[in-house]
Structure 1
């Protein structure tokens, strides 16, 4: 019976890695679509988000079944509960990639990023892709140095998000209202993407160390 339970716990970890890999692909493609006004790529991101949602539902159902049937305690309980929370964060990261793609689709054939902010959003995209890639590797390896690097990239996303507001509030901003809305939303999507990655990273740190000192979830503290 213990061997079966251990195999189920291992499968939860593997499914989280697979889910994170899909999120990594989603944000990579969503940003590429945004920066190049690629409608077909944007639509593929939107469609593929259904697969991420399905992975979350399946993983969560198995976690609940394990809790009900096995009644895990101590480390085992920590693993199952953490899997539930991490799957929710990964699903939300997939949603945010989809939101970026939806803005791209809405503005096609015109680009959604106004002139003058291409560099800022390119940096945001690069940071988001790094965050996603490191999240996948962190779930595979539980390398705590990666958890720290995810937090650093999240700090960069926060700073770039602030830069978008500085640009819009400057006296030189003369863009239409719709472009202002687009920039506001896109910046928010990238900023939240980083927050949810930090949530996953902190949960992995908690799994490895048992230390709750840094387990506060930024994605839960701030509004979704």
Structure 2
């Protein structure tokens, strides 16, 4: 019975890792759709979002069943609680990729991004996807050092995000208010996506150490 229980715990972790891969794929495609005004990719991200929602529901159902039926304690209890919170963060990451894809679709066939900020978004997209892939590996390995390394990657996204405000508030911004609003919202989506990836990694630190690293408010999309 206990062996089956631990198999279920491991399966829960594997399901979370798969979910992290899903949202990494979603942001990778959404970023490409944004940069290339690719309607097909945008539509794929939009239609696939339901799979991420279903994955979260499955993870939470499995976690609550383990709580109710197995009454886990110590590390096992931390694993189940972390899974519930991580599934929520991963689902929000999927939503943020969805928002990016919808922006690309809304402006199609026109490009959303002025040339002036394309490189910034290309960089943010690469880092955001890398963070999600790293979170996937952290879920699988529970490597505390690897989990903590995500903080540095997140700082890079924060720096680019801050730079975007400097660009759109500058006197030489020629693209108007609508473009500035698009850039502001899209920058926020990437910044929040990265924050949620870090939150997932922090949950894995909690599983291993029993201590939740300090963090700011990362609960709102």
Question: CA distance change for structure 1 residues 75 and 64 in 2, over 3 Å: closer, same or farther?
Answer: same
Q: Partners of 2:199 and 2:217 in 1: how far apart?
A: 6
Could you report, residue by residue, the CA deviation over 1:148-181 in whole angstroms, capped at 9, with x for unpaired residues? 3311111111111101111111111122221111
The answer to whether structure 1 residue 126 and structure 2 residue 126 are counterparts is yes
| Structure 2 runs not aligned, ≥5 long | none
Structure 1 segment 51-130 matched on structure 2, within 5 A: 51-130=51-130
CA contact (8 A) 1:42 1:104 kept: yes
- Counterparts of 2:197 and 2:126, CA distance in 1: 14
What does residue range 104-183 of structure 1 map to in structure 2 within 5 Å? Answer: 104-183=104-183
How many aligned positions are there?
Answer: 221
Check the 8 A contact 1:202/1:217 in 2, yes or no: no
User: Does residue 36 of structure 2 align to residue 36 of structure 1?
Assistant: yes
- Once the two structures are TM-superposed, the CA of residue 40 in structure 1 deviates from its matched residue by 0.3
**8 A Cα contact 2:16 2:139, kept in partner:** yes
Conserved 8 A contact 1:39-1:104: yes
Q: Which of structure 1's runs of 4+ aligned residues deviate more than 3 A?
A: 215-218
Q: Which moved more, 1:28-37 or 1:140-149?
A: 140-149
Matches within 5 A, 1:198-209: 198-209=198-209
Does the 8 Å contact 2:75/2:208 carry over to 1?
no
- Summarize the Cα distance change of 1:81–1:121 in structure 2 as closer, same or farther, 3 Å threshold: same
TM-score (norm 2): 0.96
Displacement after TM superposition at 1:204 (Å): 0.8
Contact 2:86 2:199 in 1 (8 A): yes
Q: Does 1:219 align with 2:218?
A: yes
Cα contact 1:17–1:136 (8 A) shared by 2: yes
TM-score (norm 1): 0.95
Deviations 1:52-83 (A, max 9, x none): 10010011011111111212111111110000
* CA-to-aligned-CA distance 1:124-154 (integer Å, 9 cap, x gap): 1111111111111111122223223311111
Between 1:173-182 and 1:77-86, the stretch displaced more is 173-182
1:46 corresponds to: 46
- In structure 1, stretches of 5+ residues that fail to align are none
Partner of 1:27: 27
Give the 3-state SS of the residue equivalent to 1:112 in structure 2.
coil
For the 8 Å contact 1:128–1:190, the answer to whether it is kept is yes
Q: Larger RCO: Structure 1 or Structure 2 (Cα < 8 Å, ≥ 6 residues apart)?
A: 2
Match of 1:11 in 2: 11
